[in-house]
Amino acid sequence: MLTIMFFELRQKFRSISTYVYFLMFFALAMLWMAAAGGAFAGATISFGGKTHINAPSSVSQTITFLGYLGIVIVAAMMGRAIQQDTEHNIWHFFYTSPINKFQYLAGRFLGAFFTLLFIFSSVGLGAWLGCYLPGIEPVHLGPIMPLSYILPYLFSLIPNLLIFGALFFTMGALFRRMLPVYVASVVLLIGYLASGPLLHDLDNKTLAALMDPFGSRAISLLTEYWSVADKNTKLVPLSGIYLTNRLIWSAFGFIMILTCFWRFNFAAISSTGRQKKERQAPAITSKRVTTAHTNFSTSGLLRMFIAQTNLNLRETIKNIYFIAIALCGVLFMASTAPVITKMFGTSTYPVTYAVLEVLSGTFSLFMLIITTFYAGELVWRERDARMSQLFDTLPIPNSLPFLSKLLSLILLQGLLLFVLMIFGILFQTIKGYHHYELAEYSYQLFLVQWPDYMLIAVLAMAIQIIINNKYVGYFLMIAYYIAQVSLPGLGFEHPMLVYGDVPRLTYSAINGYGHFLPEIRWTQTYWSGIALILVSASMLFWVRGTTSDWRGRLRLAKLNTSRSITIIAAMGLLCFASAGCALFYFNNILNTYKNTFDKQSEQATYETKYKQFERAPQPRITDVKLNVDIFPNVRRANISGEYVLTNRSSTSIQKIFITEDTDMGINHFIFDRESNADIQDKQLGFYSFTLKQALQSGETLKLHFDLSVDPKTFLGMSKNGTVLFNGTFFNSGLMPHIGYQSHIEITEDKDRRKHGLKEKERMASRDDIKALQNNYISNDADLINFDATVSTSADQMAIAPGKFDREWSKDGRRYFHYTLDKPIWNFYSFQSGKFDVKTAKWNDVDIEIDYQHGHEYNLDRMIKGVQESLDYYTKNFSPYQHKMVRIIEFPRYQSFAQAFPNTIPFSESIGFIAKVDDKDPKDIDYPFYVTAHEVAHQWWAHQVLAGNSQGETVLSETLAQYSALMVMKHHYGEAKMRRFLKFELDRYLMGRGQERKKELPLALNENQQYLHYAKGSLVMYLLQDQIGEDKINQALHEVVMQYAYKGPPYPTSRVLVDAIRKVTPADKQGLIDDLFNSIILFENRALSASAKPLGKGTYEVNVEVAAAKFKADELGAEKEVLLHEWIDIGVDDKDGNSLIRERHYIDRKIMTFKLLVHGEPAKAGIDPDNKYIDRTPDDNLIKVDMNDAKS
């Protein structure tokens, strides 16, 4: 056995590929660390904020993930270790030598295993040495812990090598061919990816973690709620789901090894199956072959071409592996199809673009695999079948076999896309969606995606032909795919750098294909130029005959040179050069090209150059009067307007600074008093003017400005997404802003360091009086008077905040005039589109939804959402300040809804096509919920607005969440809220683990979404549960009364906390600090539960529970604190419905309770509705053991 093993080892270690693999993974690991450590300007790999790159969880991720990438190498090594004897036909010698089956198999297996171990030792080595690379920022490094490198090997990598090694080895041994082995490795890669989308659904996380053969999802699940401190210091233990995963898959590997030993036939290999016998037919007198005419004219060649293509295509489709991979793809599509856009576990209608997006996303992997594999198979088909010498002497031109193979590969892709289309239509049919958009299917699949795949097909073929080594060809293609994915992360973002890189197309029901197509077409032309050159090179270097050395191939290539090849190459060059010039002019000259790093450089320069002016007193905008002319068909807009600027400071102002978006064209800034232009920095968008006559305290000044939106169109291509053909939506961010705008500064510490800037706090501290001079949505205005005239083309309507009091037509354009009878914050938006309109009423308030025709599904839910919200908010908070609520749909290029004064722009992707099943208890009516949230902003933001400091969003987002939760609770009942809050708990716990800087208590949060939305929901829901909804509403009413429309100094989250404190009974005051001013986590769980029947369906339930309370610091380091909570103890029946909830005072870590319930208990425990923040919410309930009284 050892001899065999050492023979295998010697062989592997003599082979250059072993060292190439080693170096490759070593380099990959180093690069990975360097990128994560901030060594590359443009790189974007990160383990999540403050997590060290050499933290145990990071190292574990790195090693497991790179090990995952190496699966193909495991397949190659293991499969070949056993299969090579068959391939090279030397099995006779081994099978007849005096060794037994076990020795032979074990020797081979161990030999390959140790080689793999050597290769993959490079990952850990690279990940370790990578920490010492120059350029790595010290903040990303923690102390080196040797165990954090060793454990992933013990728990993940080595078991994986054994498990997959066993699988591939077995396949190689039993099938004696490599293709099944490679196919298996691909299927495994996919198993990993397939378990990805499942993770989106909370219910499937465990399943996904178990299904992942690599174990890395299990690690993710195990560590998902770990805080930054945990991640940096705790070793990933082999426990819980991770242990289960490892056990399952180890068992799988073990079974594989047994199968191999059992099934492996250590005897002769019959290569053809059975012996062939020819029945001798009587020899026929030889019949003279009639002379046949041959035809080598164009038509004859065409005929040959078709015949050849046909044969190639047929042979491929008949191939079992093709069918297997394609089937795998279909199954994969089927596995991801149910998640076709999901939000809070509710599905949307399977509209064609969504189906296409999800399916072609998942299927693309299979397209690439098949393209890559079959490019090799096709090019090598004759040679692999040892028929090449027959074919090569046929009187056909060189280009014919190549072109026919290329065509059959492309047709194969087309066929697969057709399969995708059929699957999509089938899926829609099953889901009961019968609005088939065949045109959209065909266009996107065959006219947009297919050409992109063709580019890949040409490349894959050309590489196979020119390199003339199948496996090196595969390897290069994989390298190409990796480059395609990773180069942008390393700063190579320019669209003309990576072959086959074509801009993405986003279809919107409102805007169709929008303005994206021309750029896609030009880019495709550009790359097809290269493709044509590759085609001509392939025609030159097509291998015919047995010449394989480069000298000979070059000579043949010279001989092959023909007019047609020259023409193809020239055409390619022409396409490449002309489209290249067009694209370059468009991207770099007409538009200024900036990659991420360049953009950040500009931000950094803005900061270094102009921050000096931040403290200079500036006048405030007090009146805004705008004329916005939108020209949808040319995607232009002219914006002219007038600000009234008032000097509210105590000093006179001589210099006025303006910051203007650099994408906007500026025609003029004119003041109504004489001024000199000083700084006119168009590149950074900073301008300054010196007034001849200073603006005295209390004086006003008018600024007139004239701006334009120019899409910079060139040959149909245009960028700038401000004005769209249909569904334009932009906001006040494009208007001139007075003074230095600190929000332009780079915020991410990592990026700041890269640009030589000092790290900065994300936000001013809560009570910073300077910061409180501004609200958090604009720093150059308080309340303003707003007046806007918006015009658009005759077929569209234009919308701005306010009630439109006049509409008229002039020169074939529609004009709308909007005014507001109350001042608003300096935050407004403009929209234009062809809309259908639905109207309704709530008391005297008009409700209007402007929506895309066909998106009628949820209008009633939204209207009901508006009505019930207005009901609840006016009753509990304060009157509604406007006379209308208007929801306007906009294209799905962005997916949010946003509240402006009385208008709510609402993305088509987050509710308009939602499919809510009222009968499904799991479904959440999110169109209703999102509407309620946005309407609530009319109070929480548009009435009470916080100053620009920590905790600011508590007064807007958290309260809007609370308001929407209450409206939902009244409409759908408490039970339904449980599921919603489960999502919020998940979002919060996930969010804190990925914190980039520091987690703060809710009341001090720094615009952190996982805090102000997710934790906010949990906190407010618990508060109203513990203190009472009416008490909370009373506090909120107080806040509105006192702080609505309050200007500088603006209120902070303190006003909310204080108001709630006032209505809270003394024994629960501690709760306020826990929820708002601390980070508190619980570990509640049920230990045991038993019940005995008392007759008449009554049961006595005894339950023992454990509770623990922890206080965490900014990075998540925890210490246990004393318990003094009122927590529910409850019992559920077998359907999960509540039988009883009793609130008990919990002050000890382990307590027992006795409860009487009506109905058969199934589960009992502590905090059954997950109201408290608990990292393992699932162990709060435990199965009730029934003590049968009768026995």
Partner 1 sequence: MELCIEHLSKRYSNGVQALDDINLTIPAGMFGLLGPNGAGKSTLMRTLATLQDADSGTAHLDTIDIRTHKDDVRRSLGYLPQDFGLYPKVSAYDLLEHFAVLKGIDNNKERKQVVEALLHQTNLYNVKNKHVGGFSGGMRQRFGIAQALIGNPKLIIVDEPTAGLDPEERVRFHNLLSDIGSDKIVILSTHIVEDVADLCNNMAVINQGKVILKGQPLALIEAIQGKIWKRFIEKNDLSQFQQDYRVISSRLTSGRTLIHIYADQQPTDGFLPAHGNLEDVYFSAMAGLFDAPETKIAREHNINARVA
At 843, list the tokens.
Answer: 């008391």
3-state SS, one letter per residue, for 155-177: HHHHHHHHHHHHHHHHHHHHHCC
At 751, list the tokens.
Answer: 């990026």
At 1151, list the tokens.
Answer: 């307590």
> Closest separation between CB of residue 275 and partner 1, Å?
9
Name the residue nearer to partner 1 (CB basis): 272 or 1191: 272
At 1125, list the tokens.
Answer: 């909570």
Name the residue nearer to partner 1 (CB basis): 4 or 556: 556
Name the residue nearer to partner 1 (CB basis): 401 or 736: 401
> Closest separation between CB of residue 404 and partner 1, Å?
10
> Closest separation between CB of residue 462 and partner 1, Å?
22
Name the residue nearer to partner 1 (CB basis): 239 or 275: 275
Contact 826, 812 (CB under 8 A): no
Q: How far is CA 814 from CA 70, 809, 886, in A?
A: 61, 5, 19
Residue in the structure block whose two tokens are 């009516």: 925
> Closest separation between CB of residue 383 and partner 1, Å?
10
At 604, list the tokens.
Answer: 């950094």
Name the residue nearer to partner 1 (CB basis): 277 or 434: 277
Residue (of 244, 178, 180) closest to 210 by Cα position: 244
Contact 987, 943 (CB under 8 A): no
Name the residue nearer to partner 1 (CB basis): 283 or 1122: 283
> Closest separation between CB of residue 553 and partner 1, Å?
9
d(CA 1105, CA 1164): 9
> Closest separation between CB of residue 390 and partner 1, Å?
6
Interaction site with partner 1 (CB under 8 A): 272, 276-279, 281, 283-284, 286-296, 299-300, 303-304, 307-308, 311, 315, 318, 385-387, 389-397, 544-547, 549, 551-552, 555-556, 559
Kindly report the length of the chain: 1191
Name the residue nearer to partner 1 (CB basis): 283 or 439: 283
> Closest separation between CB of residue 285 and partner 1, Å?
9
> Closest separation between CB of residue 468 and partner 1, Å?
14
Q: Could you say which DSSP state residue 145 is in?
A: -
Q: Is 661 helix (H, G, I), strand (E, B) or coil?
A: coil
At 48, list the tokens.
Answer: 């999540």
Residue (of 908, 1008, 1053, 1029) closest to 965 by Cα position: 1029
Name the residue nearer to partner 1 (CB basis): 92 or 841: 92
Sign of the C-alpha dihedral, residues 859, 861, 867, 869?
A: negative
3-state SS, one letter per residue, for 806-822: EEEEECCEEEEEEECCC
Name the residue nearer to partner 1 (CB basis): 308 or 647: 308
> Closest separation between CB of residue 457 and partner 1, Å?
22
Which residue type occupies 989? L
Report DSSP letters for 112-130, one per residue.
HHHHHHHHHHHHHHHHHHG
537 sits in which H/E element: helix 517-541
In what order do the strands lie in the sheet containing 737-738?
A: 675-681, 686-695, 653-659, 737-738
> Closest separation between CB of residue 555 and partner 1, Å?
6
Residues 6 or more apart in contact with residue 48 via CB below 8 angstroms: 228, 231, 993, 994, 995, 996
Name the residue nearer to partner 1 (CB basis): 304 or 1115: 304
- The partner residues of 1125 in beta bridges, in order of sequence, read 1146
> Closest separation between CB of residue 89 and partner 1, Å?
13
Residue (of 487, 490, 602, 470) closest to 548 by Cα position: 470
d(CA 690, CA 692): 6
Q: Counting beta carbons within 10 angstroms of the beta carbon of residue 154, is it exposed (0 to 12), middle (13 to 18) or buried (19 or more)? A: exposed
Name the residue nearer to partner 1 (CB basis): 293 or 668: 293
Q: Is 1044 helix (H, G, I), strand (E, B) or coil?
A: coil
> Closest separation between CB of residue 20 and partner 1, Å?
23
> Closest separation between CB of residue 408 and partner 1, Å?
14
> Closest separation between CB of residue 13 and partner 1, Å?
25
Name the residue nearer to partner 1 (CB basis): 339 or 411: 411
Name the residue nearer to partner 1 (CB basis): 16 or 283: 283
d(CA 1156, CA 1144): 15
Name the residue nearer to partner 1 (CB basis): 555 or 841: 555
Report DSSP letters for 293-331, one per residue.
----SHHHHHHHHHHHHHHHHHHHHH-HHHHHHHHHHHH
Q: How far is CA 25 from CA 125, 146, 192, in A?
A: 10, 20, 20
* Secondary structure tally for the chain: helices H, strands E: 35, 32
